[in-house]
Amino acid sequence: MADQIRSGAWSASDVVEQALDAVARLDPILHFIDQLDAVSAREAARRLVPSGRLAGVPFLIKARTPAHAPIVTRLVAAGAIPIGTSTRARVGAQAQTYGWNGSDYTRNPWDPTRSPGGSSAGSAAAVAAGVVPLATGGDTGGSLRIPAAFCGVVGFKGSYGRVPRTGRSLGGLTTAGIIGADLHDVVAATSIVSGPDRRDPCALPHWPTPDLRDRQWRVTYQAGLCGSFAEPGVDRVVRDRLVASGLTVVDAPVELQAVDAAWETLWALDTGRGVDGAAISHATEVRNHNDTVLADLLHEVDALVTPTTLTVAHGYDRYEESIVVGDLCWGFNVTGHPAVTVPVGLLDGLPVGAQVVAAHGRDDIAVSIASQLEVGLPPAPVHAGRHSSLSPDAGDERRSV
């Protein structure tokens, strides 16, 4: 898309208009928009000098993300054009694996009776529906990876500090990141938004875009962690894809401690709630234990692979239930390891995602292995690309930067 705009074959205004038209047609079905800003998007497209790496590419910003957040300002500096904000779950809601636009619940493009996951719900739904190729999100306990897996797209939580955020948190759980239709696009966008920022003392150095060539990577696979296991159908889809991928799969024990209480303590610290000393000591012990176990494991193998979620997408109307689907995700927020989810197949017509976890700072290994696992799914049943005016092949492949 950016190449076409830079070459003059397409205009940024036409691309933005197509995205806005897709919003008009699909948001009444999927409810992924929190706030649309068509006026600013059109003005940005009209004034664009098409030279940036993401010149003219429309994207959505997860609701309640500050306008001055580095993940937003750096995408804009690269030429990308925000068209609005995407839905997320209500603050304090019982479940966070859904989205809410103020009047209705966000739906999954693969089946509008299902949830897109959350909390970056609208971002994943809009990408899966072909409205935008990229959207921002945040991941505190799987909030990038769960919706990406439910919607059959890519979600990347880099090493803690990979994408800078404004201010230091006490618990160190949340990582900003990108949801996209294609792993290469997500990797490129993450490289663009990475690097030091004076407001984030935990920010890592700039992350060069890695080469995603296939290699004989060694991975270990776990269908469950800490007593939580993926449903058999989900497990089978991931196992079948591992066999077909050419990766070397080895058996290796992964004796992680349960992170439920530790995560709750760290989240309480991040949100300013009272925590006693014993809880903090326990959280520190769990974090240190799991860091050591993963360091030993990832010295022997290149990555740990799991299903991303325990189930495929659940019903959108189960928002008042305490739905546990992301137990394989949140432990890596506690430790801060890079974790990426990619689609690996369908189960009863719904996407299944595989999660790849690599050592601290080895985001390049995580995405390289994920590139060997990623499967190009057909367009979702609710998809703007089926009627794209910009590309004769838009109905055949998901839109890519």
Residue in 69, 66, 59, 62 with CA at minimum distance from that of residue 163: 69
Most distant CA atoms of the chain, gap in Å: 62
| Adjacent-strand bridge partners of 197 | 200
Compute the Cα dihedral for 6, 7, 13, 16 and give only its sign: negative
User: Kind and range of the H or E element at 342?
Assistant: strand 339-347
Alpha-helix residue ranges (DSSP H) falling in 89-165: 121-128, 145-151
Query: 60, 38 in Cβ contact below 8 A?
Result: no
Residue 380 and residue 150: Cα distance in Å, rounded? 12
| Number of Cβ within a 10 Å radius of residue 289 | 15
Residue 220 and residue 238: Cα distance in Å, rounded? 12
Active site members: 62, 119, 143
21: number of CA atoms within 13 Å, CB side? Answer: 12
* 327: helix, strand or coil: coil
